[in-house]
Amino acid sequence: MRGLGLKLALLRIAMMLCVCKATSTLHPLILVPGSGGNQLEARLTTGYKPSGLFCGRFYPISKDKEGWFRLWFDPSVLLAPFTKCFNQRMMLYYDPDLDDYCNAPGVETRVPEFGSTNSLLYLNPNLKRLTAYMAPLVKFLEGIGYVSGETMFGAPYDFRYGLAAEGHPSHVGSKFLQDLKDLIEKSSASNGGKPVILLSHSLGGLYVLQLLNRNPPSWRRRFIRHFIALSAPWGGTVQEMLTFASGSSFGVPLVDPLLVRGEQRSSESNLWLMPSPKLFGPGKALVITPNKAYSAHDIPEFLKDIGYPEGVIPYISRILPMTEALAAPSVGLTCIFGTGVNTPETLLYGKAGFNKQPEAVYGDGDGTVNLESLSALESLWAFEKNQPLKVIRLSGISHTSILEVRAALDAIIAEISSINSKAQAEVSFE
């Protein structure tokens, strides 16, 4: 019996060592969310001028001792009087003198828990069932050994802001890139110097690509093991033209799209997601009205005609040069996205104009991003010899369900496991 007990004890120790060894082979992983994919907090200062009675500084009642409250996501946005408050507080303003974007007067914002996955799990932790975002994905990642705060980290950001082409300031977006770079280096250092796997969703993929291309090859080789982009809108979306023209409730009941249209138009990142002329040719009409048709090459004219001329200058000077330069970063990249879901391809407006939701002609994509945009890198980087690119298509998977449907999660986990296994094999070979 003593011999059996000793054998069992040795077996337990061996198993523990195996687990430790398996865990140590994981490359640190950083999750970068898409637009609206993390919590956002706000605080009102004396410079705040409410647009109505319901929007006074007393609302919302629940604030912390320093006056901070949850701006995104708060369920009161579904009620019309408070939708107007939300619209006012989320608005950005382009300052032509500064050539940059800023918050509404009297509104301060911050992103909670940078570096942690906490603000990515649920958009509102009090409404977990209704606002789950990356919670299912994180649970699956934990199932293969990742531990939040040790080998898995989150990079939330103020998703209203974007980036700008070289030579133009972008204070908020550039700070996020620096914070993300610092997080990558710290995550690598705390994991024995292993390079990092970056896993993005939607808009997060555009940010990551910019980060890679704005840092030297030597930095990328040292700190980046692989980049996995989920549902990345490399060339923007036709859906974004609907958002600018008529507002979008994104399927949320009770919300009048026109009440949030002003805020959506003001978003710098939304302007970044306009369909790119690089991918959507001049002969492809994306918006058709009784008097005019607009292609991706007509965005400046489109912005004027919908009543948003203030968007023309930042679009032409800050956004367009950036979207036309999707340079390959020479980092291993895997694109995973859904196909076979009806996605707006052409928007048809009647005599009622842009204040009415249009009819849509649908094409292929993931329900939000068109297939031309999702698969763009295959054609753009076809002759890039030093750019490893893998594309995984998931039939019937939508833009958001890629983070929760079992088939999609299995594909993501399999790719991450494969990257870790290959890395370990390379180390063993050396």
Q: Which residues are catalytic?
A: 202, 366, 399
CA distance linking residue 94 with residue 110, whole number of Å: 19
What tokens does 156 get? 């939330």
CA neighbor of 230 nearest in space, from 34, 370, 58, 88: 34
Question: Dihedral sign, CA of 96, 99, 103, 105?
Answer: negative
What tokens does 108 get? 């301060």
What tokens does 224 get? 């980046």
CA distance linking residue 50 with residue 58, whole number of Å: 10
**Residue count (the chain):** 430
CA distance linking residue 202 with residue 229, whole number of Å: 8
CA distance linking residue 271 with residue 281, whole number of Å: 18
CA distance linking residue 292 with residue 285, whole number of Å: 10
CA angle 396, 397, 401 (to 5 degrees): 145
End-to-end CA distance of the chain: 44
Q: Which residue has the tokens 């799990």?
A: 121
Furthest-apart CA atoms within the chain: distance in Å:
91
Residue 108, SS3 per DSSP: strand
Q: How far is CA 349 from the centre of its chain?
A: 29
Residue 201, SS3 per DSSP: strand
Cis peptide before 73 (omega within 30 of 0): yes
Instruction: Please report, for the chain, how many H helices and E strands are present, in that order.
Output: 17, 15
